[in-house]
Structure formats: structure tokens, C-alpha cells
Amino acid sequence: MPRNSKRVTSFVVLILLLASIHVYPQNQKFGIVIHGGAGTILKKDMSPEKEKEYTEKLTEALEAGYKILESGGSSLDAVEQAIRIMEDSPLFNAGKGAVFTNAGTNELDASIMDGKTLAAGAVAGIKHVKNPITLARKVMENSPHVMMTGEGAETFAKKQNLEIVDQSYFFTKERWESLQKAKQEEKLKEKHGTVGAVAIDIYGNISAGTSTGGMTNKKWGRVGDSPIIGAGTYANNNTCGVSATGHGEYFIRLGAAKDVSALMEYKGMSLASAAEEVIFKKLTELGGTGGVVALDKDLNVAMIFNTEGMFRGYYLSGCEPVVKIYKE
Amino acid sequence: MPRNSKRVTSFVVLILLLASIHVYPQNQKFGIVIHGGAGTILKKDMSPEKEKEYTEKLTEALEAGYKILESGGSSLDAVEQAIRIMEDSPLFNAGKGAVFTNAGTNELDASIMDGKTLAAGAVAGIKHVKNPITLARKVMENSPHVMMTGEGAETFAKKQNLEIVDQSYFFTKERWESLQKAKQEEKLKEKHGTVGAVAIDIYGNISAGTSTGGMTNKKWGRVGDSPIIGAGTYANNNTCGVSATGHGEYFIRLGAAKDVSALMEYKGMSLASAAEEVIFKKLTELGGTGGVVALDKDLNVAMIFNTEGMFRGYYLSGCEPVVKIYKE
């Protein structure tokens, strides 16, 4: 072969190689599913304006996650970003819109998990960090620990240069009035609004995250399922990613998020069957309410809940985003 | 049949009935298995006196639990009592013998679970409660919550009239010196010594509990697996009860305690195979160290660990108590 011809051949091979690298991701499936809490959400109680606000904010979160995934970003980035958008909105019981404790404070919990390595990070009882989901990720990536709580976790947050806010940042009139009402009735109110996201990126890595303000009128440093790995959040590349919302105590007792994965892995169930088994059978029989969003390695989506409604949506590669609120 | 004869027959039937009620429990199997932590525990490093102390204290805990079970008491009582005995001893990293945090304080975690109802209670970051396992049980039985943390949990403890102690109660010279050494070496030291128990009572109810002081030199409000239901503690009458000890972060990521149960329930594995799968395969592959003790509904015992040793023992109905420390 003449020398020039060899060069041309090498050049062509190189071009084909580069093209294949570039094309590879575009052939891969990716997607994100989110929730903004489950509860007694009825169309008759919702004004068209409020419905529009929720739909727009959920769509914004989905689009932000989708954009990251589409450009080859990680599912961890997509989950974190989608949750940050919901945390920054007063619409949901997470971040800015967190409910009030019995003491009139706001105490936030969050967790995140990487399905590739089973690495995880969680924080509970956070009072001054604007985005608890980002703190959970810092715990996962920049500490030897999985879970941090209270003031200790906030000291770590400062070291990580996270945005620290005054407790007044979390004040919203609606949540404050909810507390007064809950106090009058002397009961804990389960305010729907915990947020969560699950995503799979072009590399097949699944991540899941959850963030919440907990229960209105909660006392005694109560912690729900949101910061508990295996209860409120779970991700495993071999099976699926799950984020839960609802009456947290029941989700802890059931180890609900990981149970969806275990039913798939050990019993060979589909994602939908596994999620239905956990929510419609186990959770319901125990007397609990709530739901999960989940996404498996084959890009199947499950959004299962036993309440009147769940703020939810998904956005899969090559499709349009879908956002829903009520049962049907 | 003459009237007297009828009376005699009725009387005999009544006696037999009463006898059967009385005999019933005595025919049932019951038992308890405990651990006092896993780690680098080598015979060459242990004085005969220290070995005797550990053996005697583990035996005392087993006997206290056994006595409760033998007299028809609940597995919850047996688990709580066995753990309280270990919490009150300076030998273990729980209660009195808790290790020190980086700040020179003691912060204790504990959890308990009832396999009959899947009810559970957990506390984290406790500084002034003498017996955290009892507080965990109070959370389970006397609150609507599963998990409480920090000062809030202590406020609840006071309302429940639990014994409150000054932080100085938890001072032991050995643990203090461990902290100084860990600080010099600038590392977290995983001090073996977390305690746990699993029991099954004559009614077939399985309970599990775990209590710890966490890691020497821990910072940032770190919480390990001990107070995480599904990670450090799990119980389910349909399968088994499990209490874990070791490098807690790995046990959280694996949802280790519940995974043993899930492998039995969903894959039909035996208790021993399930516990070995979780410890020898999953935990070891992830790079974690530690172990579990477990007891299933058929009174099979598993005490599986991938470290040099684990303080452990069991005491089953009709048998002698067995206590072990090293690998063989």
C-alpha cells in the first residue's frame, strides 16, 4: 500500500472512531421522573392558577434534568438540579416551602444515592442550608460518612461553602397558618409536598434523591423517611431508582424504596409490579399513605400512590414531558 | 350418662384444657442471640482477665434475656433487657462505654423493631439518656414516630421519665485515650463494641435491637447504621430478626439487616445463606467490615462476620448458653 493511501485509511478510521464516540450517547436512552409529594390533592380544591403554577414548576424541574441528561451529564447532576428547582419554590414542602415544626422552626431532611457505586449521602434536622439536597450530595462525595444530622451537618455545610440562609428564608405565610391550624387541632399534619427525583443517564447510571421539610407541627427532632437510605431513597444500576413521599414512619418500617428494588432483583418482578406490591399491598395493609416514583434500567417509569393525588411527571429521551397531579 | 359422670367428664376436660394452656408455652421454642461488636479482636491482644470479663458480661446478658423468654415474657422485653445490661457495662461501645466524638462528647444511637407488627423506634445523637435502647422502645410504643434525634429526642425522654445522666457518666479512661490517639492520627477509628440482640419468644414473635456510641472521633453529627431501621436493625415474624455491627456507612448503603430478610422471603434462602450472602459477598465486595447476628422463626441462629472477631453468643430453649469471641 502506498504511503499516502495508508494515511488516508488511518484518517478515515480516526474519523469513524470519533463519529462513533460522538454518536454513541445519542443512541442511548435516558430520562427523569420526579414527584412533588402525595396526599389529598383534589381538583375541586385547586384553583386553575395554582394548578398552572404546579404544572409549570414541575415541567421546569423536568426540563432542567432532561437538559443535563441530553448533553451527556450525569444522573446525579440531573436529580440534584431537578430537586433544587423544587426546593427553591414555595410550592413544595422542601427547601423554601418547608413546613413548620411545633417550635415554629423549619427542619429539613434530604438524601441522594448513586446506583452505580451504591454511594449515598443524607442529612437530617437542617435549619440553615438553602438546598439540603446539595448538602446530601456533599456528604456523599466529600466525607467518609453517609448521614449527618443537626448542627454538626451545618458545620460541614459551611466548610463545603454551601449557601447558608437565616431561618426567616423558610417563612411562608401558608405554611405558618398550617402550623397554627395543626396546633389548634393538636395534631401532626402530613403536608403533601416532599420532593424527589430519579434519573438514568446515557451511561446507564441511575440516581435517586429526596428532600423534605417533614411534618407540620413535628416535635422531638422527628425524622421521617426522606433522609433514610432504603426507606425514602434508593438507587441501584442493576434494578431501579426510587424516591418516596407520604407518611414517612410507614416507609421506614417497610424499607419501602429498597423493597421495590429487592422485589425486582430477588423475585424477578417488573418495576410496575414491584412498586404496586409495595404501595397497594404492603403500605396500604399497614395503614400508611403515600407513593413512589421509580425508573428502571430499561427506562420503564412507575408513579404509584394510594392517595387522592401526587404531583408527578417524567421526561424520557425522544418523548415529550408528561406532568400529572390527580389520580387519573 | 348419669349426671355425676357428666360432671366428672366436664371436670376432666376442663383440667386437660387448663393443662394444655399451661403446657403450651413450654412446648414452644424460644431463644436469644446477642453481639457486643465486631472488629480486630485477636486472642493475642486479649488478657485472660479481659476475656473473662467479656465472657461473663455476655453470658449475663444472655441469661437475663433467656429468663424473660422462659417465663413467657416478650421478645421485646428480652432484647431490651439484654441490651441494657451491655449498655450499663463499660466493656462495650454503647451506653456507659460509648466512645468519644471529635468534640469530646458522647453521642449515642439505638433502635428496636417488633417483628409482629413491623413497629419500630430509633434515636440518634443522644447525650444524656442512660439507656438509649429503652428510649428507642418508648419512641416505638409511646409516640407516633419511628425516629427522633438530638435535643428533641431528649425532651421526649424526660417526658417518658427515663433516667437522665450527665455527660460525665459516659466518661471512661480507655475511650478518652482512644480519642486522643485517633486525633493524633487524624482518623476516624471504628471501635468495635456496638451491641445488639435478637430474640424469639414462645408466641413466635421476633424482635431485634441495636445500641452504639458510634465511631471514635466522629464529627458533623454523623449517624451510622445502628439507628437506621433496615440497615442496623430489622425484625419480621415471617422471616427473621437481625442486628448488625461494623462500619455503619456500608450497612446503610446495603440496607444490610433487611436484606437478610428479603433474601429469605423473596429468594427462599436459608438464614445462614442469606446472612453469608450479605456479609461475605455484598459487604466484603463493597469494602466494608463487620457482621450480623440473626435468628429466624425456626430458631436457626446465624452469627456471621468478616472481621477477626465478634463478641457474640446465643441461648436457645433447652440448651446451654454459648459465648464466643474469636473467629474459631
Q: Is residue A104 domain-resident? A: yes
> Nearest CA to B122 among B252, B219, B312, B30?
B252
Residue A226: enclosing H or E segment and its boundaries?
none
Q: Is residue A74 domain-resident? A: yes
Q: Is residue A56 domain-resident? A: yes
Q: Is residue A134 domain-resident? A: yes
Residue B25 C-alpha, separation from nearest chain A C-alpha, in angstroms: 28
pLDDT tens, A64-96?
999 999 999 999 999 999 999 999 999 999 999
Total tally of structural domains belonging to chain B: 1
> Nearest CA to B78 among B60, B94, B66?
B66
Calpha distance B6→A252 (Å, rounded):
57
Instruction: Closest CB to B252: pick one of A120, A144, A223.
Output: A120
Catalytic residue numbers of A?
A: 194
Residue A213 C-alpha, separation from nearest chain B C-alpha, in angstroms: 15
CB-neighbour burial class of residue B45 (10 A; exposed 0-12, middle 13-18, buried 19+):
exposed
| CATH number assigned to the domain comprising residue B102 | 3.60.20.30
The three-point CA angle B177-B179-B182 to 5° equals 110
Residues from B contacting A (CB-CB < 8 Å) are 113, 118-120, 124-125, 143-153, 155-156, 188, 219-224, 228-231, 234, 248-249, 252-255, 258-259, 262-263, 266-267, 286
Supply the pLDDT for residue A237: 98
Which amino acid belongs to residue B59?
T
Q: Is residue A9 domain-resident? A: no
ipTM for this prediction: 0.90
Supply the pLDDT for residue B189: 61
How many C-beta neighbours within 10 Å does residue B161 have? Answer: 8
If you measure CA to CA, which chain B residue comes closest to A112?
Answer: B253
Contact B220 A153 (CB under 8 A): yes
Residues of B in contact with A287 (CB under 8 A): none
Contact B230 A234 (CB under 8 A): no
pLDDT tens, B164-206?
999 999 999 989 998 998 888 877 665 578 999 999 999 999 9
Half-sphere exposure of B217 (CA within 13 A, CB side): 16
Contact B220 A152 (CB under 8 A): yes
Q: Is B194 a catalytic residue?
A: yes
Instruction: Closest CB to A258: pick one of B118, B144, B255.
Output: B255
Contact A229 B229 (CB under 8 A): no
pLDDT class for A28, splitting at 50, 70, 90? confident
Q: Is residue B21 domain-resident? A: no
Residues of A in contact with B282 (CB under 8 A): none
Q: Is residue A14 domain-resident? A: no
Calpha distance B139→B162 (Å, rounded):
12
Question: Phi and psi of A65, rounded to 5°?
Answer: -65, -45
> Nearest CA to B107 among B98, B116, B115?
B98
If you measure CA to CA, which chain A residue comes closest to B255?
Answer: A230
Query: Domain of A133?
Result: 27-326
pLDDT class for B26, splitting at 50, 70, 90? very low
pLDDT tens, B226-271?
999 999 999 999 999 999 999 999 999 999 999 999 999 999 999 9
Instruction: Closest CB to A150: pick one of B149, B228, B229.
Output: B149
Q: What percent of chain B has pLDDT over 90?
A: 82
Q: How far, CA to CA in Å, does A233 sit from each of A28, A238, A244, B187, B197? A: 25, 16, 7, 29, 27
Q: Is residue B88 domain-resident? A: yes
Instruction: Closest CB to A249: pick one of B145, B252, B254.
Output: B145
Who wins on pLDDT, B182 or A2?
Answer: B182
Determine which one of B59, B105, B117, B194 is catalytic: B194
